[in-house]
Amino acid sequence: MTTTDDRAVFVTAMGDFLASWNLPRATGRVYGQLLLGSSPASLDTLGAALGLSKGAVSVAVRELVSWGLARTIPQPGSRRLLVEAVGGFEQLLAAGHERTRAFIRVLRSGTRSAEDEDAAARLSEVAAFFESYVDAGEQMLRSRRGGV
């Protein structure tokens, strides 16, 4: 297998992986391409490398930026942007935790509207499960960063 083939396999796998997290496959492919790159890339360069339209790349980049996985770099005197990956799995996990915390807040707010104590208990149980998940993930991140 050539290096080009290896890159294509990785980019496709990243697209498939992030799609399993309900992100668009193109977003995962763009992220994979950015991770493999040695320098920031333009939307045109990303589109050409992946066979995606500039619009599809633009949407993917916005999604990656919203997750904290990429950043855009304005080019002075131009409307063009360069894009670079800024994080790895830790960034993705941290962003996922933020979204999960929002979900927990919604679950907790639902307990006030539950029809009975059983429904309220079920909502609390689901919220507690996700709180445990976030707590475990946060502990793992702290230990990777050298904290306790």
Q: 76 and 103, same structural domain? A: no
* Final residue belonging to a domain, choices 87, 112, 138: 87
Q: 96 and 71, same structural domain? A: no
Query: Looking at per-residue confidence, does 125 or 23 come out higher?
Result: 125
Query: Average pLDDT, whole number, for the chain?
Result: 90
- Closest among 68, 127, 138 to 97, alpha carbons compared: 138
Total count of domains within the chain: 2
Q: 113 and 73, same structural domain? A: no
Percent of the chain with pLDDT over 90: 65
- Closest among 64, 101, 56 to 85, alpha carbons compared: 64
pLDDT in tens, 30-52: 999 999 999 999 999 999 999 99
Q: Between 25-36 and 3-19, two packed helices, what is the crossing angle to 10 degrees?
A: 140
Q: 82 and 94, same structural domain? A: no
Q: 97 and 139, same structural domain? A: yes
